[in-house]
Structure 1
Amino acid sequence: MTDNGRNDDGIITSVDTSVEKLPNHLLIEVFIRVPVSDWVQVSCVKKEWANLFCGECLWQAALVKLYPLAGQTKKWPGPIPRGPSRRRFTALYMSKHIFALDGEIDELVGHIYLFLKEQLELSTTPPPSGILHGTMIDQFIACGKSSDMAHELASQIWLAVVDGLEENERTFCLLKNLALEADVFLPFPYSISSKVQWRVFEKLFTDFRDCFSRVDYYDVLACAKNKFQPIPSAWLGY
């Protein structure tokens, strides 16, 4: 890009004509060598470039370039599909940057993370946590994970998603509903771990304390006391 392609605020306003003339397959080769953190900005420069980021070709090339072993991954059975190249790339990126799995990048973990995140953040009426958790467990077991491993991975995914939720009114309502869900006995590994349940209450009583009405606060506190004894004094407001 030319030096005069930025305005006084440093925003890109024009593109070197030599870059504009490159065919799409060469533009893709350039883009996938740009740091992933800059892709959103790059896609905003020109409508044609945005279209490339919406298509499959760029994401297929990115998979080959950045995750060469991904091509060896076979389709898997189970309720959570692998999806197109863009989703596969996102799943691999999430797996690499969020989960510490002994240095391995597990695409399946990334897909299940995206599944849970989307259900909790985008769905107008998310299914009960037991259904979501059971779907995750079934997917892991269908792909050959042991019950213990499925339970541990699902717990890690729950914690990562809950910790990553934005602090807004929708998240408060979501966490409150999760906390107030009736306990349903499910056999291992379909029972949600106490670590996940604890984190839900912890976020409510620390990050969202000011959002409670008096009635809601005591309802959620009663559920916490029923599930955990003793409970931290911070949850009681002191």
Structure 2
Amino acid sequence: MTDHNSRDDDDTITSVDNTVEKLPDHLLIEIFIRVPVSYWTQISCVKKQWANLFRGECLWQAALIKTHPLAGQAKRWPGPIPRGSSRRRFTALYVSKHIFALDGEIGQLVGHTYLFLKEQLELSTMPTPLGILHGTIIDQFIACGKSSDIAQELASQIWVAVLDRLEKNEHTFCLLKSLAQEGDDFLPYPYSRSTKVQWRVYDKLFTDFRDCFSRADYCDVLARAKNKFLPIPLAWLERQ
């Protein structure tokens, strides 16, 4: 009796699998965009056909329309950071909602800027002067009609969010050390990085990467920290 039930269950699963395999792409897309985003990576690994759907634009266009219907409307998008494909627009809006609790036009702008900065900082080779990246972010917000104060505040939030989500590896250590050693105090407001961002750079260096320093580099970065912040946390001095 148990064997009979087991065969029935297997037949049912096989029948469902065969039915799903026969579904056209547009119906598969309608199913997938109703599944939580956290499962999409697993779904895309099941079959080559499904992986191709996630690589294409149709699924992301449908997901964008379903989740953010107003985002699909054509709008002018000035500034140096491109808006990109439907997949990128969906990802930007997802990031803005789940990391920054923002939605709508400002959410899309913040999400795209976050993706841009994170990608630039995660490049295998060191990016162009980091001050230029910050200037690009500020220019993007100003080009979209934001004031200097708002541009500075949004840029600071994005920098901190990206820094907090970088992997703890040698590349990140070298990146943070470059950020600490690259002076931008001479740049006019709002193009100089905020105190909040500079503090986060030093704090991550002295808490997450203290053992990675050579003695000379540690003394150099610590001297720069003391020059910027007084007093500094005692935790930063534990190596001495």
TM-score, normalising length from structure 1? 0.91
Specify the alignment match of 1:113 in structure 2: 114
Specify the alignment match of 2:4 in structure 1: none
Change (3 A) 1:73 1:205: farther
* 8 Å contact from structure 2 (residues 79, 139) kept in 1: yes
* 8 Å contact from structure 2 (residues 184, 193) kept in 1: no
* 8 Å contact from structure 1 (residues 75, 82) kept in 2: no
Specify the alignment match of 2:172 in structure 1: 171
Deviations 1:21-78 (A, max 9, x none): 0000000000000100000000000001000000000000000111111113513111
Specify the alignment match of 1:35 in structure 2: 36
Change (3 A) 1:16 1:199: same
Change (3 A) 1:4 1:74: farther
Letter of the 2:123 partner, please give it: L
TM-score, normalising length from structure 2? 0.90
- Work out the CA distance in 1 between the residues paired with 2:139 and 2:119: 18
Secondary structure of 1:191 counterpart: coil
Instruction: Give the count of matched residue pairs.
Output: 229
Specify the alignment match of 1:234 in structure 2: 235
- Work out the CA distance in 1 between the residues paired with 2:53 and 2:212: 43
- Structure 1 residue 125 displacement after superposition: 2.1
Specify the alignment match of 1:190 in structure 2: 191
Change (3 A) 1:90 1:193: same
- Work out the CA distance in 1 between the residues paired with 2:233 and 2:161: 22
Specify the alignment match of 1:70 in structure 2: 71
* 8 Å contact from structure 2 (residues 184, 192) kept in 1: no
Secondary structure of 2:118 counterpart: helix
Secondary structure of 1:219 counterpart: helix
- Work out the CA distance in 2 between the residues paired with 1:55 and 1:106: 24
- Structure 1 residue 222 displacement after superposition: 1.0
Deviations 1:138-172 (A, max 9, x none): 00000011111101000000000000011111111
- Work out the CA distance in 2 between the residues paired with 1:229 and 1:14: 70
* 8 Å contact from structure 1 (residues 167, 207) kept in 2: yes
Letter of the 2:82 partner, please give it: P
Mapped pair 1:221 → 2:235: no
Secondary structure of 1:167 counterpart: coil
- Work out the CA distance in 2 between the residues paired with 1:81 and 1:74: 13
* 8 Å contact from structure 1 (residues 137, 189) kept in 2: yes
Pairing of 1:16-95 with structure 2 (within 5 A) = 16-72=17-73, 74-95=75-96
Detail structure 1 runs of 4+ shifted over 6 Å in the superposition: none
Specify the alignment match of 1:142 in structure 2: 143
Deviations 1:108-164 (A, max 9, x none): 110000000000012512122210110000000000111111010000000000000
- Structure 1 residue 176 displacement after superposition: 0.8
Structure 1 stretch displaced more, 197-206 or 211-220: 211-220
Letter of the 1:22 partner, please give it: L
- Structure 1 residue 14 displacement after superposition: 11
Deviations 1:75-110 (A, max 9, x none): 311100100100000000000000034x65610110
- Work out the CA distance in 2 between the residues paired with 1:51 and 1:14: 23
- Mark the runs of 5 or more structure 1 residues left unpaired by the alignment: 6-12
* 8 Å contact from structure 1 (residues 56, 86) kept in 2: yes
Letter of the 1:78 partner, please give it: G
- Mark the runs of 5 or more structure 2 residues left unpaired by the alignment: 1-7
* 8 Å contact from structure 2 (residues 126, 175) kept in 1: no
